[in-house]
Every structure is written in C-alpha cells, then in structure tokens.
C-alpha cells in the first residue's frame, strides 16, 4: 500500500493541525518500525526551531484511521487543549464507510462498552461498562454500502468501530469488528473529517476539516 505523508492544515505559534494518513502511529510504540506522528512532527519543527522542539499529543487516532489531528507546540497550549478534550468541549466528526446500508437515515447510539482483549464490545448485563454515545446520519450511498457522518459525544477506545458493528454495519476493512472486506494495507473506512475547538490562547473558535485521501478503501467510492 502506498504511504502518504502528513499534510499541514494549519500552524501558528501554539498549534499544529495536520492531516494524519492511515498507517501512522500516534507515538512510538517501542519496537515498531512504523512511522509515528510525534517523531514526524519533531523532525518537521526542528527544521526551523533550534534544539528539541516541544510537541504535545493532545488526542489520538488509531493506526488505521486518517484525518484531522491536533498537536500542541507549547506546554501551555498542550495543557489547555487537553482540558478541552477532557471536558468534551471539542466537537469531533468522522466519516465512516460501512458494509451495507443503514436501516434508517439517522440514529443515536448510547451503550455501555468494555474492553475485551484487543477489541471493544457491548457490556453484558453483569458487567460494568463505560458509557459511549454517538449520533450518526447517512451522508451518501456508496455501492452496496454507505458513508455515515458520525458526531462523537464521548471518547471510548474503538467506540465508533464497536458501536457501528453492533448495528450490523462494520466499517469497511475492519476485520477486527466483522468486516469481510480486506485491503492492501492497514487503512479502514474511518476518517476524522472535522475538528472544532477553541484556540488555546486567543480563545477563538476554530474548525478544521480534511477530506479522505484517494487510497483504499476511500478509492472505492471515488
């Protein structure tokens, strides 16, 4: 699978907003040879900032997910952005290419989720889960499947992947959650399309968007 490089969407003295490609880890994992965003950003900033540049990772995207990712260039920005994410003041909207059409045009999912090994699933009656909430709506049909637009209200690991699979609509390429489709690389049909936050020093509202890149599986609907 062809690997694209991160793209700078926005940059100032405090913020670095990028388009993360699928296949990049958020940070080094200690033994993988895969590229990671923190290392890439450190090299990028070192081009014009002497010494070791500060890079703060204030949220994450899975290895297989691409799209808008925010990084902090100062410790002050990192602390303030982290608080926005923690207090759910940031609006995150995703695109999901799913295996099959949804039964209705829109819906809301509120479930209790638990981690079970390497996956997330719905909690059983006797289990204590973590509350997970998302709202979805049909964006467009895509062959035998569909593209859904997802607004996240919570931030549970693998939340979108697990909750859509519970509807019988696994994300294309996501074999871990039941998709029969396989691709040439790690990418699945989940994309961080939009991120709305407040600037960490100016407090002005900012909205950043990025369209899916034309690689599998998004190339299936181009």
- 10 Å CB burial of residue 143 (0-12, 13-18, 19+) is exposed
Q: List CB contacts of 164: < 8 A, sequence separation 6 or more.
A: 96, 98, 136, 148, 170, 171, 177
Catalytic hit among 12, 29, 62, 139: 62
Question: Three-state SS across 115-146?
Answer: EECCEEEECCCCCCCEEEEEEEEEEEEECCEE
Closest CA relative to residue 70, chosen from 55, 85, 58: 58
Q: Which helix (H) or strand (E) holds 84?
A: helix 75-86
137 forms beta bridges with 106, 149
Q: What 3-state class would DSSP assign to 182? A: coil
62 belongs to the catalytic site:
yes
CA atoms lying within 13 Å on the CB side of residue 136: 27
Q: Which residue has the tokens 């995150």?
A: 92
- Cα distance between residue 217 and residue 221, in whole Å: 8
Q: Which helix (H) or strand (E) holds 160?
A: helix 159-166
Residue numbers annotated as active site: 62
């Amino acid at each position: 699978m062809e690997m694209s490089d991160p793209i700078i969407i926005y940059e100032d003295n405090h913020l670095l907003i990028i388009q993360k490609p699928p296949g990049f880890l958020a940070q080094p994992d200690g033994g993988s040879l895969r590229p990671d965003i923190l290392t890439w950003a450190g090299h990028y900033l070192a081009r014009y900032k002497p010494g070791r540049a500060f890079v703060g990772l204030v949220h994450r995207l899975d290895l297989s997910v691409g799209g808008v990712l925010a990084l902090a260039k100062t410790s002050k920005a990192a602390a303030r952005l982290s608080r926005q994410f923690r207090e759910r003041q940031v609006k995150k909207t995703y695109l999901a290419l799913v295996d099959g059409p949804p039964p209705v045009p829109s819906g809301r999912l509120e479930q209790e989720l638990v981690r079970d090994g390497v996956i997330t699933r719905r909690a059983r009656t006797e289990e204590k889960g973590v509350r997970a909430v998302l709202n979805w709506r049909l964006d467009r049909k895509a062959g035998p499947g569909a593209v859904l637009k997802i607004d996240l209200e919570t931030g549970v690991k693998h939340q979108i992947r697990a909750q859509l699979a519970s509807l019988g609509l696994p994300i294309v390429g996501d074999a871990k959650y039941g998709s029969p489709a396989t691709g040439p690389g790690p990418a699945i049909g989940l994309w961080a399309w939009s991120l709305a936050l407040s600037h960490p020093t100016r407090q002005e509202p900012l909205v950043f968007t990025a369209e899916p890149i034309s690689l599998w599986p998004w190339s299936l609907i181009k």
